[in-house]
Amino acid sequence: MYIFFFVFGLFWGSFLNNIALRLENNEDFLFSRSKCPNCKKKLSWKELIPVLSFIIQKGRCLNCGFKIPLRYLVVEILTGVWVYLLSKSIIFNINFLSLVEFLFYFIFLSIIFVLALYDLKTFLIDDRFIIFGLFVFILFFLFKTYFNLPQRDFTYLLNYVFNFYGKIEPLISALLLSSLFLLLYIITKGEGLGFGDVKVVFLIGLFLRAGDALFSILVSSFLGSIYGFYLILKNKKFKQPIPFVPFFFLGIMITIVFGYKLSKFYFDFFKL
Ligand SMILES: [Zn+2]
């Protein structure tokens, strides 16, 4: 059953990759047909099947023979994998509520994923995606309130501390974590992370429970600083921008997919 989500993810990855590419090139990112990056020929449906088209065409454009960047294949497969993992972590039985809930996390992660691709290339955040995320969160919030669904726990370490806030927890979580990042941004004078990262953290705080959001940001910061350290060793200079959104994405995925196991491991380890 979950394999369907993987296959769907491959197609979705192709779509998200195109959105990110069009953002990078300042093109209309929703309503234009895919074309070869070299000869600009519009692609037919046969050339748009994820992974398969790439293999059949041996990674080249059918019209001009241009070598299609490996990025297309990598983004499609990565998206297939994360959509699959997300479905396994959210949907335990197929029913209306869990499918809609999945849909909300899926849109949230798609937004972060496109922002991550865009950040890798440009070190920028596109505000339209943040605003879209806020809009999706409001729908998510109304949906949960209407069906009286509890917020999902992905880790069990810190969430209970925030139970006290009830319905306004997402707002507390978003404000708390983004002001922490704002402080970091001000202290480092924007040299480590950008103001865009503060906005992304706000979105993460809204969608995840406060403890989960904190956990995912700690994981992201840990992975990001390993990468930063690697860059310093490689380029032998200290001041360089780090695209941070890809690490946020990784941190969120690790929290959603492994949060429960990691918490259990922690509790068992300390015999709590
Ligand atoms: Zn071409």
Q: Which of 15, 62, 61 is nearest to 34 (CA)?
A: 15
126 alpha carbon to ligand 1 midpoint, in Å?
28
78 alpha carbon to ligand 1 midpoint, in Å?
24
Give the model's confidence band at 177: pLDDT under 50 very low, under 70 low, under 90 confident, else very high: very high
pLDDT at 193 over 90: no
Q: What is the pLDDT of residue 144?
A: 93
**Helix-strand-coil percent breakdown of the chain, rounded to 5?**
70, 0, 30
Which one is predicted more confidently, 266 or 155? 155
48 alpha carbon to ligand 1 midpoint, in Å?
13
66 alpha carbon to ligand 1 midpoint, in Å?
5
Which one is predicted more confidently, 1 or 12? 12
Query: From its phi and psi, is residue 183 left (phi > 0), alpha (psi between -120 and 50) or beta?
Result: alpha
Choice among 73-82, 122-131, 225-234, 250-259 with the minimum mean pLDDT: 225-234
6 alpha carbon to ligand 1 midpoint, in Å?
28
Q: What is the pTM of this model?
A: 0.94
**What is the pLDDT averaged over residues 13-28?**
91
59 alpha carbon to ligand 1 midpoint, in Å?
11
pLDDT at 238 over 80: no
136 alpha carbon to ligand 1 midpoint, in Å?
37
34 alpha carbon to ligand 1 midpoint, in Å?
11
118 alpha carbon to ligand 1 midpoint, in Å?
23
Average per-residue pLDDT for the chain = 91
CA distance 177 to 197: 11
22 alpha carbon to ligand 1 midpoint, in Å?
17
Give the model's confidence band at 226: pLDDT under 50 very low, under 70 low, under 90 confident, else very high: very high
CA distance 23 to 115: 10
Q: What is the pLDDT of residue 167?
A: 85
38 alpha carbon to ligand 1 midpoint, in Å?
5
pLDDT at 228 over 90: no
pLDDT at 160 over 90: no
Q: What is the dihedral of CA 57, 62, 66, 69, to 10 degrees?
A: -40
262 alpha carbon to ligand 1 midpoint, in Å?
47
Q: Which of 199, 203, 192 is nearest to 138 (CA)?
A: 203
CA distance 118 to 112: 10
40 alpha carbon to ligand 1 midpoint, in Å?
6
pLDDT at 91 over 90: yes
64 alpha carbon to ligand 1 midpoint, in Å?
4
**Each residue of 50-87: pLDDT tens digit?**
999 999 999 999 999 999 999 999 999 999 999 999 99
Q: What is the pLDDT of residue 151?
A: 86
Q: What is the pLDDT of residue 272?
A: 60
pLDDT at 239 over 80: no
**What is the pLDDT averaged over residues 238-263?**
90
pLDDT at 29 over 80: no
